[in-house]
Amino acid sequence: MASRTRAALTTIAGKTVGPVGYGLLSLTVPWAPIEFPTAIKLMKTALENGANFWDGGTHYGTPERNSLHLVRAYFEQYPEDADKVVLSIKGAFTLKDGPDNSPEGIRASVEESIKVLPPSIKPIDIFQCSRVDAKVPIETTIQTLAELVKEGKIRSVGVSEVNANTLRRAHAVHPISAAEIELSLFTTDPLHNGVLDTCHELGIPVVAYSPVGRGFLSGQIRKPDDLPENDFRRMLPRFQPENFDQNIKLVEAVSKIAEAKGVTTAQVAIGWVIKHGGIPIPGSTKEARILENTKPAELTDGDLDEIQKILDTIPVSGQRYGGEQEKLLNG
74 is catalytic: no
Rounded to 5, what percent of the chain is helix, strand, coil? 45, 15, 35
Q: How far apart are CA 180 and CA 57, in angstroms?
A: 12
pTM of the model: 0.92
Q: Which of 162, 175, 173 is nearest to 204 (CA)?
A: 175
What is the per-residue pLDDT for 221?
78
pLDDT in tens, 73-110: 999 999 999 999 999 999 999 988 899 999 999 999 99
125: helix, coil or strand?
Answer: coil
Catalytic option among 60, 74, 78, 321 = 60
Q: How far apart are CA 45 and CA 212, in angstroms?
A: 19
pLDDT in tens, 265-288: 999 999 999 999 999 999 999 999
Q: Read off the pLDDT of each residue in 307-319 and give the average, rounded to a whole number.
A: 88
Task: Please say whether the beta carbons of 247 and 216 come within 8 A.
Answer: yes
| 215 φ/ψ sector (left φ>0, alpha ψ -120 to 50, else beta) | left
Strand 61-62 to strand 65-66: parallel, antiparallel, or no bridges (unpaired)? antiparallel
Q: Read off the pLDDT of each residue in 47-56 and give the average, rounded to a whole number.
A: 97
Task: Answer yes or no: is pLDDT of 2 > 90.
Answer: no
Residue 149 CB coordination number (10 Å): 16
**In this prediction, what percent of the chain has a pLDDT beyond 70?**
90
Task: Answer yes or no: is pLDDT of 322 > 60.
Answer: no
Task: Answer yes or no: is pLDDT of 183 > 90.
Answer: yes
What is the per-residue pLDDT for 1?
45
What is the per-residue pLDDT for 314?
94
Q: How far apart are CA 122 and CA 79, in angstroms?
A: 8
Torsion over CA: 20, 24, 27, 29 (sign)? negative
Task: Please say whether the beta carbons of 130 and 329 come within 8 A.
Answer: no
Q: How far apart are CA 32 and CA 306, in angstroms?
A: 37
Torsion over CA: 127, 152, 69, 82 (sign)? positive
What is the per-residue pLDDT for 223?
73
Q: How far apart are CA 13 and CA 11, in angstroms?
A: 7
Torsion over CA: 282, 287, 292, 296 (sign)? positive
Which numeric CATH code is attached to 10-327? 3.20.20.100
pLDDT in tens, 105-163: 999 999 999 999 999 999 999 999 999 999 999 999 999 999 999 999 999 999 999 99
Residues in a beta bridge with 5:
276
Q: How far apart are the first and last CA of the chain?
A: 20
